[in-house]
Amino acid sequence: MRRLLLLTAVFCLGPSLPTSAKLPPFEMEVETPGETVEVTVRIVADETLLHGFDSPDLDGLLAVFPAGQVDDEGRPQTVLEARADVPLSRVGPGTYQGSATVEPGHWAVVPFPGVNGDVQGTADGWYPNTVLFEVGDEGSRIWALAALAALTVVAWRLRDVARV
């Protein structure tokens, strides 16, 4: 009798469990201060769905790949060790934030990095597409500014010498 009740409960409740665990539509904002990529994910859904989805974190949702390792569809070509996972923590209802440190270069933030092929829902606007961005080398910027300052000083000195 106990088994019959358990099987009945599984058959009745089972089909509703996967739909309640699905990730609602979300948007992604990428900022690159220095050599860090900061990503904010906002769940875009009605209030009932938004408050029903209360995950403390969304680890595995986003990863950063070298842009050269992402295909024309915005998907990673292979699972690479060069990827940087972006751990996302809940900072408010429907808002998650996370960051990863990357080296200077061209990069791509990829949603659902473990999914091969197209991600259903990106074409319909449910989920964001891959975001490409560039991280500059702060050291080379400093040297460029120092060189510009030195050239300015030399130009002023040459101007003063030309007056004499």
pLDDT at 39: 93
Mean pLDDT is lowest, of 17-31, 54-68, 72-86, 92-106, for 17-31
Class (C level, CATH) for 23-136:
mainly beta
CB 106 within 8 A of CB 70: no
pLDDT at 63: 92
Q: Which of residues 123 and 71 earns the better pLDDT score?
A: 71
CA dist., res. 88 & res. 96, Å (int): 6
- Reported as type and span, the H/E element at residue 92 is strand 89-92
User: What is the number of residues in the chain?
Assistant: 164
Cα dist. 135→32, 34, 102, 105, 125 in Å?
A: 7, 7, 8, 5, 27
> Which one, of 43, 63, 39, 38, lies nearest residue 115 by Cα?
63
pLDDT at 144: 52
The domain ranges of the chain are: 23-136
- pLDDT tens for residues 50-67? 767 778 888 889 999 999
pLDDT at 23: 80
Q: How confident is the model at residue 119 (pLDDT cuts 50, 70, 90)?
A: confident
> Which one, of 95, 15, 98, 86, lies nearest residue 55 by Cα?
95
pLDDT at 20: 35
In this predicted structure, the answer to whether residue 40 has a pLDDT above a threshold of 60 is: yes
